[in-house]
Structure 1
Amino acid sequence: MSLYRTELRRLAKRRFTRWMSLLGLLVLAAVVVGIFVTNEKIDAGTLAKAERAAEQQWQRDVQHNAQYRAECDKAKAAGTGNDDQFPEDCAAIQPPPRDAIQAEWYLPSTFEFRKDFGAALLPLAAILALVGFVVGASFVGAEWNTGGMMNLLLWRPKRLTVLLTKLAALLTGMVVLAVPATALWFGSFWLVATLHGNTEKMTSGAWQSFALTGLRGLVLALVAATIGFALASLGRHTAMALGGAIAVMVVGQFGLAILLEMAGVRFAEAWLLPTYALAWLDKKVTLQNYDACQVNYFGNCEPATLDITWQQSSVMMAVGLTVILGAALWTMRRRDIA
């Protein structure tokens, strides 16, 4: 019997894999429903309602302005006005122009596919990466914890082959889960935009950009699954991966962020892992440092900036993945199985 097919069957039949995958899909479905409910399609009636709201707000502002002007004139005539309450010349109190109150401010939220869908790909990648990490850690961690790994090595004594076959089965399962989920994500948000937004200005370039972002999200999920798998294999327990992740994110990242902030380090976010994950998905993240403000010709503050690109993120992910997976393979080869 093929070891690869056996591992695929074992992965698919694990209750934890099924429930974790279902939980991830339910969270994604809840996000879609939330976006659908909180957005509306902008039609002629909605625009007219917004115009009326803007007109009413402008009239209220004009009325308040007239009252304030009258109070100013009265106070100046009585000699009781002060500079803190009224301007020196009451004629300076003028009603706002009509175009100062825009109808767009009173429009309900609407989902514009071209403008908003890029941000909607971030929670998809995050949920898939979380599911991949936890399932990957549990898949091999449970084998070590229950003694299944030792029994399997009696049947197939090639340690690295067994571990890499398990990893291949895990990554295949993640692809089987992530690809349909991504396709459904695209379709769901296209439906949201059609019913409660618009799908205008969608070009082949926009589709290609979204597709590449979705592909990078899939790669991130596979990397997370591999890291969870490798950490659990290193510690020979699922808790090793989960505890390590909590330590890195809570102690390492939050604690490091506080320490860097207290030390006044420039571009402190450049030392945090979420910045690189976001740069991988968005292609670039621009960090700003207002403490190093440069005044331009017009007297405006231009903060110093630092760009984190997806290429830098890819190097970091490749190095981290190589080190962690390499350590797991090395320990699998060198340590006793007991």
Structure 2
Amino acid sequence: MIRLTKVELRRLISRRLTIVGAAGLLLISALLLVATWADARPMTAAEQQQAQRQFEVAHQDWVDHAAENLRQCEADWNSQPDPKPKLEDMCNYSEPKLEDFGKPRTVFATIMPELLQGSSYFLAFAAFLIGASFFGAEFSTGAIGNWLTFEPRRLRVYGSKLLAAASGFVPIAAVILAIVLLGVYLIVHALGDAHTTGKVWGNLTATGGRAVVTTALAAALGSVVGLLLRHTAAAIGVVMGYLVLVEGVFGSFLQKAQPWLVRLNFDAFVKHDTQYYLNECSASSDGGYNCNYVEKTLTFEHGAWYLAVLAVLMIGIGGWVFHRRDINS
């Protein structure tokens, strides 16, 4: 198995799509760093003057109309049916401050978790695409039949291809995430607030590690889908159809099904818990309905078990099909 996996790794690394994909990931990472630099740049003198003018207008309006706005808000609050928010929450007209206007200072500990999460998306997509092509192309060209004449034990061939696809993307994902993490830190250190703690670095490192795991998993599952559909384009079509129809349309209509969708469980695993919202309605005293969006938490454990079960099922189905199905059919 080790020898076969090494052979498959060499094949994966030498493929043109793998090289193009790795170059594309580097380009996306560079664009991400450029966007971070643009967001972190301090305001120009003209932008500072414009922020000052906006602050002065808003502050003068607050001085002139604060009492009037408060009275009107209190009247609106009194006329609302129960249950209603607290008066101090609904009618909180705080004095405008200059720091509230213009561009806020970029904080490393605030932006980095979301950037790592975004990076995990394009890493997983690239890994899935290349994994699907890695296995699917062998059926399109007929190379898989020739390979099985040298190694007829199909499950060993199947396992070596999945291991090669998964392990081959571990260093790629680790390098890309390290570039993003260190690049953003250096940019924010020069232009914003890069102060952080050991705990934050530990959390960011753990998030990056989980993103590496999901990248390897996406490469393996892409290989399985490429095997089942025998064509890279078909695998991409199925994934895009799932994202649009199931995650987009189905998920928006049946909100209670969100905990069983792939994307949310992916987020829960990478981010170590994630939040989503449900629109919950209850009968009011006047016979109507009061509806509010309620925040829910999908736990890391749920996401980890979901992805593990999905991986086992898909890999098991792929192994059964590869072992049983006629290669030429």
Normalising by structure 2, report the TM-score.
Answer: 0.80
Give matches, 1:1-338, under 5 Å.
2-41=3-42, 52-53=52-53, 56-57=56-57, 60-61=60-61, 100-200=95-195, 202-260=196-254, 267-292=256-281, 303-338=293-328
In 2 relative to 1, CA 157–126 (structure 1 residues): closer, same or farther, beyond 3 Å? same
The residue number in structure 1 matching 2:75 is none
Among the aligned pairs, what percent are the same residue?
Answer: 26
- Find the aligned partners of 1:303 and 1:137 in 2 and give their Cα distance: 39
Q: CA contact under 8 A between 1:42 and 1:197: conserved in structure 2?
A: no
Deviation, 1:50, is 8.8
Contact 2:140/2:230 (CA < 8 Å) preserved in 1? yes
Q: 1:176 to 1:56 in 2, by over 3 A?
A: same
Q: Deviations over 1:124-157 (max 9, x none)?
A: 1011101110000000111111011111111111
Conservation of the 8 A alpha-carbon contact between 2:48 and 2:102:
no
Counterpart Cα distance in 1 of 2:47 and 2:21:
44
Q: How many Å separate the matches in 2 of 1:252 and 1:62?
A: 47
Residue type of the partner of 1:37? A
Q: Which amino acid aligns with 1:153?
A: L
Work out which of the two has the higher radius of gyration on C-alpha atoms and give 1 or 2. Answer: 1
Q: Which amino acid aligns with 2:225?
A: L
Give the letter aligned to residue 315 of structure 1.
W
TM-score normalised to the size of structure 1? 0.78
User: Aligned residue pairs: how many?
Assistant: 297
CA distance in 2, matches of 1:183, 1:35: 15
C-alpha distance in 2 between matches for 1:289 and 1:259: 11
| Unpaired runs of at least 5, structure 2 | 69-92, 285-290
Other structure's SS at 1:289 match: strand
In structure 1, how many angstroms separate the alpha carbons of the residues matched to 2:63 and 2:175? 57
Distance 2:48 2:229 in 1: 63
Looking at structure 1, the residues matched to 207 and 41 of structure 2 have their Cα atoms a distance apart, in angstroms, of: 26
How far did residue 16 of structure 1 move?
Answer: 1.1
CA shift in 2, pair 1:311/1:291, >3 Å: same
Structure 2 CA distance, aligned partners of 1:15 and 1:206? Answer: 38
Q: Secondary structure, in 3 states, of the residue corresponding to 1:126?
A: helix
Q: Give CA deviations for 1:88-134 in whole Å, capped at 9, x if unaligned.
A: xxxxxxxxxx9712112224243211122111111110111011100
Q: Distance in 2 between matches of 1:194 and 1:154?
A: 57
Q: Distance in 1 between matches of 2:62 and 2:114?
A: 39
Higher mean Cα deviation, 27-36 or 270-279? 270-279
- For 2:147 and 2:218, how far apart are their aligned partners in 1? 25
Q: Deviations over 1:193-214 (max 9, x none)?
A: 11221112x1111111111111
CA deviation vs aligned residue, 1:5-29 (integer Å, no higher than 9, x gap): 3222211111111112211221121
- When residues 150 and 112 of structure 1 are mapped into structure 2, their CA distance, relative to the original with a 3 A threshold, is same
| AA aligned opposite 1:24 | L
Aligned partner letter, 2:311: L
Relative distance call for 1:303 and 1:12 in structure 2 (3 A) is closer
State how far apart, in whole Å, the 1-side matches of 2:240 and 2:207 are.
27
